[in-house]
Structure 1
Amino acid sequence: MATAVFETRTAAAARAEGVVKAYGSGETRVVALDRVTADIRQGGFTAIMGPSGSGKSTLMHCLAGLDTVTSGRIWVGDTEITGLKDKKLTRLRRDSIGFIFQAFNLLPTLNALENITLPMDIAGRKPDKEWLDRVVSTVGLGERLKHRPSQLSGGQQQRVAVARALAARPAIIFGDEPTGNLDSRAGAEVLGFLRRSVDELGQTIVMVTHDPVAAAHADRVLYLADGRIVDDMANPTADLVLDRMRGFDARGRVS
């Protein structure tokens, strides 16, 4: 029995155990996460969904070490990050975690390639050329590497952001509404690249989204409501996700 638990845990890229995140105290206390336990599977694509205020972004920020928890424990790989000193946490985020945000966060004075390699340049690490070439090919940026952000479409800019997250070969990538600022066509392209990065590059991705079409690109959808995980869907489709979202009210009850 102990062996099975050990194997499950080592297969998790990140996990939360009994996590509570609360703001304020007394009558003004707000519980954003209420005893959440979840494993993020290695080499998989997990979407996190829920109504506004359900705690989905808070869960992602806690899993990524961007926010602290009130109680409970968080691991990234085999490293527990709850209580980790700032310096060690910063190093772990730099070496093991990639981020893709709704805002592309590209430096306008750098070209696409320079933006992709910037985190490694700051860390004083040389990119693995073979891996970098593979990432650039996966996201379809080969013809745009010398272009600055102002010379790229929104979809191309987000592809640069995806490549930047992939280039350092992090253990896990977190995306916060990564297609939220894109039109449907560009969003579909970026989601396709994220899907390929899981299937072809073995990447682990966690994405917060409100879009059933985006969630359908994932292997699994975790649904949050009122700070709790209320469902865990495997092999989602857009129709299944939409039906499930309609089936929960803001308190997480089946309506």
Structure 2
Amino acid sequence: MTLPEQQTRSAQDSAHSALRLEEVTRRYGRGGGTVHALRGVSVTLRTGSFTSVMGPSGSGKSTFLRCAAGLDQPTSGEVHLGDTRISGMREKRLTLLRRERVGFVFQTFNLVPSLTAKENILLPFRLAGRRPDRGWVRDVVERTGLTDRLGHRPAELSGGQQQRVAVARALATRPDVIFADEPTGALDLTSGQEVLALLREVVSVAGQTLVMVTHDPNAASYADHVLFLADGAIVDTMSGPTTARVTERMSRLGS
């Protein structure tokens, strides 16, 4: 299965890829209880693209994200972040790589309650023991609309504002790829749309590469492309998605 204008095995296209999976499988358990979470997934996502990953419950969406982001190791196959093979990498080196080259946005925000918004945004630098690019961080804060909220702790912020802090934290280190796992799942409709518009902006304006797992056809419509998973395999792709088209395709996957 190919992703239009994205998936290719040529060296030329690989040079422009932010993320590449080659025949990735992931199995859990043994014998009769083996679960095949991913079955030979191959896909290349180009730098500066916004890809949504969709599928029914149990289709392999979360496993796809975990293997692609280096949070889980595939049973077989290869995962490349840019020109770096991360599958098979030792955990200590992988932890450092994720800290420097990968950003995460989760449904539950994952902010530290005792830290202010500013301190949460700068936390990756504190953990890495390196200085932030103050000019870039200031631009990220302005882009995410948090200038007047930097001194507030998470409990003093709305859900949408907390997710903006999470997006700013993910952007602050200028990662190669941001992985978003159901980023609007805990938000009301208005806040969710604001966060999706922000994610769309950081791809279109800042050239960020974004991979988003979602169950929401409206959220998927903000992406450039959609990958549809079922039973651990990519069964379809869509470019220029709309809410109606994604809804229709998902209804056929669930039938």
Q: TM-score w.r.t. structure 2 length?
A: 0.95
Q: Could you tell me which amino acid in structure 2 is paired with residue 53 of structure 1?
A: G
Corresponding residue number in structure 2 for 1:252: none
Q: Does 1:86 align with 2:54?
A: no
Counting matched residue pairs gives 248
SS in 2 for 1:201: coil
Amino acid at match of 1:221: V
Q: For structure 2, which runs of at least 5 residues remain unmatched after alignment?
A: 1-7
Counterparts of 1:1-255 in structure 2, within 5 Å, are 5-249=10-254
Render the CA deviation track for 1:101-143: whole Å, top value 9, x for unaligned.
Answer: 0111111111111100001111011111111111111111111
Which amino acid counterpart does residue 28 of structure 1 have in structure 2?
Answer: G
Q: Please tell me the residue identity of whatever aligns with 1:50.
A: G
The share of aligned pairs that are identical, in percent, is: 56
What CA deviation, in whole Å up to 9, does each residue of 1:160-198 have, x standing for no partner?
000000001000000110111001110001111111111
Give the partner amino acid of 2:94: L
Distance of 2:95 and 2:156 partners within structure 1: 32
In structure 2, give the amino acid aligned to 1:84: M
CA shift for structure 1 position 90: 1.0
Counterpart amino acid of residue 78 in structure 1 = D
Code of the residue aligned with 2:147 in structure 1: it is: G
Cα shift at 1:4: 8.0
Of 93-102 and 83-92, deviating more is: 83-92
Q: Could you tell me how far apart the structure 2 residues matched to 1:66 and 1:73 are?
A: 14
Q: CA deviation at 1:41?
A: 1.7
| Structure 1: runs of 5+ lacking an equivalent | 250-254
The equivalent residue for 2:4 is none
Give a deviation string over 1:38-88, Cα, whole Å, max 9, x none: 112210110000000000110010000000111111111100011111121
Structure 2 SS opposite 1:143: helix
Q: Which letter does structure 1 place at the counterpart of 2:138? A: D
Q: TM-score, normalised by structure 1?
A: 0.95
Distance 1:154 1:138 in 2: 18
For residues 23 and 121 of structure 1, the distance between their equivalents in structure 2, rounded to whole angstroms, comes to 35
SS at match of 1:33: strand
* 1:25 Cα offset (Å): 1.2
CA distance in 1 between counterparts of 2:57 and 2:172 reads: 32
| Secondary structure at 2:253 match in 1 | coil
